[in-house]
Amino acid sequence: MLSPLLRGLAVVLILGAVAPAQTQSRAYEGGRACPHIITDMVPGLTVNMPQRRLAHVEIRHCDAVGAPMQVVAWKQGADAPSTVLDIARFSYGPLLMDGNVFVMVFPGPYDSIVVVQYQHGEPRVVFTDSTHAAIWLATTDRGVEVTIDDGKGGRIVKTFAVNINELAAPQ
């Protein structure tokens, strides 16, 4: 288990601009990942393995005007992505990566939240939501927490267990 200080270092925060639309689960360009990699989140490096062959999650953009962004997740050693998820936005907001958990927020009239978690080496979209409410991302001793203001004075908290060993398939 990482110390709270080291876990905090796993946080990457990048702010983006506002853009409209909603999350979609089909791949924009006929099932293919769009060509432009905007951000590539790689949880670690391995000796003698190029970065592109490691488990990682990318945010991409397509060529067409008004085309969506995409969340593209890769298994370790894969030649093609395992997951391609369209996000009908033009920018991204806060990002958090800790071990096998990747959280992305895409701002707009409704902010879209996407959580990708690697399980037995496979990237899985384990949570998506859209909200007008405030969103907080944090790492804790329990894992990665996504907290959403419910608009009624309460909060919805989703916790995703962190296990770096889940990035690769069991041998």
Greatest mean pLDDT among 46-50, 66-70, 142-146 lies in 142-146
Considering only residues 49 and 109, tell me which one the structure prediction assigns the higher pLDDT: 109
Domain membership of residue 78 as a residue range: 4-44+51-167
- pTM of the predicted model, to two decimals? 0.80
Q: How far, in Å, CA of 30 to CA of 62, rounded?
A: 12
Number of domains forming the structure of the chain: 1
Structure tokens at 50: 């190029």
Residue 22 has pLDDT above 80, yes or no: no
